[in-house]
Amino acid sequence: MDDRCNRVRGDCHRFFLGEGCRTVPLSGHVGFDSLPDQLVNKSVNHGFCFNILCVGETGLGKSTLMDTLFNTKFEGEPASHSQPGVQLKSSTYDLQESNVGLKLTVVGTVGFGDQINKEDSYKPIVEFIDAQFEAYLQEELKIKRVLHNFHDSRIHACLYFIAPTGHSLKSLDLVTMKKLDSKVNIIPIIAKSDAISKSELTKFKIKITSELVSNGVQIYQFPTDDESVAEINGTMNAHLPFAVIGSTEELKIGNKMMKARQYPWGTVQVENETHCDFVKLREMLIRVNMEDLREQTHTRHYELYRRCKLEEMGFKDTDPDSKPFSCTKSLIVSRSCIRMKKRSWRTRRNLWTMKSMRLNRGRRQLNCSSLRPSRLEDHRLLKGKRREKTFFKSVLASCTVSEGEDCHL
Ligand SMILES: Nc1nc2c(ncn2[C@@H]2O[C@H](COP(=O)(O)OP(=O)(O)O)[C@@H](O)[C@H]2O)c(=O)[nH]1
Ligand SMILES: [Mg+2]
């Protein structure tokens, strides 16, 4: 069998190169197995971007944790508790590690949980996330788009800071997480976990997990479909929510300088896994799953936003016979709908103009004061006319692409 194959291969070789053709020996390895390296080089040259949203009440240690995570001091004044509403503050930094560049954006929720009425506290956060999706969608829809140079500000990870009460989640936490879970990858963390004892912490974690499940809040799960990280990710999923401690202060412990917090009764080490889950969070967020978080944002959350938006605009993938609908066809349908609507409004406007012209002519011909409407009627007629004129004007102006949505041809 091998012999036959070799013969066939030899024949093919002769057929392609021709008899007596000079064969040049290869100077090195030739193959497409270098493709992954090419991709890596290209990505490294281009750099990466990662956007983190920190949601949590003022004073829960959001800024401190970011400084601790990225081992730097991000600028920013501590927020006061007297903000009239929730505001999102975003700062972008260019970080470098070895030869890899990272454009990191940290977004904080200033004033979250500081108002007496917290009903609408989640709204500015939802609006912010949607605004980033919208900016990306608008770039994607451009004819001349430059997505590779576009600063992608979509949120890849949302660290949700839970107060270390040891009781249960607050209503504000549940409502906010519920509103965000279809838009962003939520990683819940127990902030300032040095304020809670070991046995209380275990119970608190169980309570939080059960409350999230019973309220149908979907939090981000570290992926277990890739064999190389399945084990570690599976184990870490069981540790959620991570109990963290933040500190930028370095203390000498033994003969080493370590990030820690010192209290009258002792020292808590940030990077000691028996003291808190900070290392677990750093590993999962930065070292193991950063790319998955970016991918999930694009393929799950952005995809959902994009689908809803395009449907709102009147785009459809299938026509009434369930046949695939091309993008151009959708556009044509949308436009023809608008044209039809405009035409019908114009006809109505013309009829109305003709009617009022006829009325005026009749009035002029008669020129009889007894037949003229009273001043009050005159006023009503004029007001009605004006209102109708404004109405027609606004209808014609609002006939844009989005009007195709409720049109069935
Ligand atoms: N006990 C304790 N205090 C912390 C921790 N992280 C930060 N803090 C302190 O909490 C205060 C508020 O922290 P900050 O990062 O400004 O909170 P933010 O308003 O959420 O950004 C500061 O005095 C921090 O030193 C922590 O893990 N444990
Ligand atoms: Mg802060």
pLDDT tens-digit map of 232-246: 999 999 999 999 999
Query: Residue 8 pLDDT more than 60?
Result: no
Cα(304)–Cα(301) distance, integer angstroms: 5
Instruction: For 294-336, give the DSSP string.
Output: HHHIIIIIIHHHHHHHHHHTT--SB-TTS-B--HHHHHHHHHH
Q: Percent of the chain, pLDDT > 90? A: 46
Q: Which residue has the tokens 């965000």?
A: 180
Element (H, E) at 359: helix 327-366
Q: What is the mean pLDDT of residues 323-351?
A: 65
What confidence score (pLDDT) does residue 334 get?
Answer: 58
Instruction: Give CA–CA dist 372/381, Å, rounded.
Output: 12
- The band of 369, judged by pLDDT with boundaries at 50, 70 and 90, is very low
Please, what sign has the CA dihedral across residues 392, 393, 396, 397? negative
Q: CA distances (Å), 372 to each of 361, 364, 368, 376, 386, in order?
A: 12, 10, 6, 11, 20
Sheet holding 242-243, edge to edge: 87-97, 100-110, 48-55, 157-162, 186-190, 242-243
Pick 344 or 58 by higher pLDDT.
Answer: 58
Give me the pLDDT at residue 98, please: 82
SS3 label, residue 369: coil
Q: Decide: helix, strand or coil at residue 3.
A: helix
Going from the Cα of 292 to the center of ligand 2, the distance in angstroms, rounded, reads: 27
Per-residue pLDDT tens digits for 21-35: 787 777 777 777 888
Whether pLDDT at 176 is above 90: yes
Q: Residue type at 211?
A: E
- Which residue minimizes the CA distance to atom 24 of ligand 1? 61
Q: Are the CB atoms for 161 and 55 separated by under 8 Å?
A: yes
pLDDT at 405: 40
Identity of the amino acid at 325: F
Question: Mean pLDDT across the stretch 268-291?
Answer: 93
Q: What average pLDDT score do residues 275-285 get? A: 93
State the chain's mean pLDDT as an integer.
Answer: 81
Paired with 108 in beta bridges are 54, 89
Confidence of residue 45 (pLDDT cuts 50, 70, 90): confident
* Residues near ligand 1 (Cβ within 6 A): 56, 58-64, 78-79, 192, 194-195, 245-246, 261
Say if residues 68 and 120 touch (Cβ distance below 8 Å): no
Atom of ligand 1 nearest to the CA of 60: 20
The pLDDT value recorded for residue 79 is: 75
Q: 200-214, 254-268, 390-404 — which is least confidently predicted?
A: 390-404
Å from CA of 119 to ligand 1 middle: 25
d(CA 138, CA 134): 6
pTM of the predicted protein model: 0.74
Query: Which atom of ligand 1 approaches the CA of 244 most closely?
Result: 27
Cα 107 to ligand 2 centre (Å): 10
AA letter at 300: R
Alpha-carbon distance of 355 to 347, in angstroms, equals: 12
Q: Which residue has the higher pLDDT, 120 or 376?
A: 120
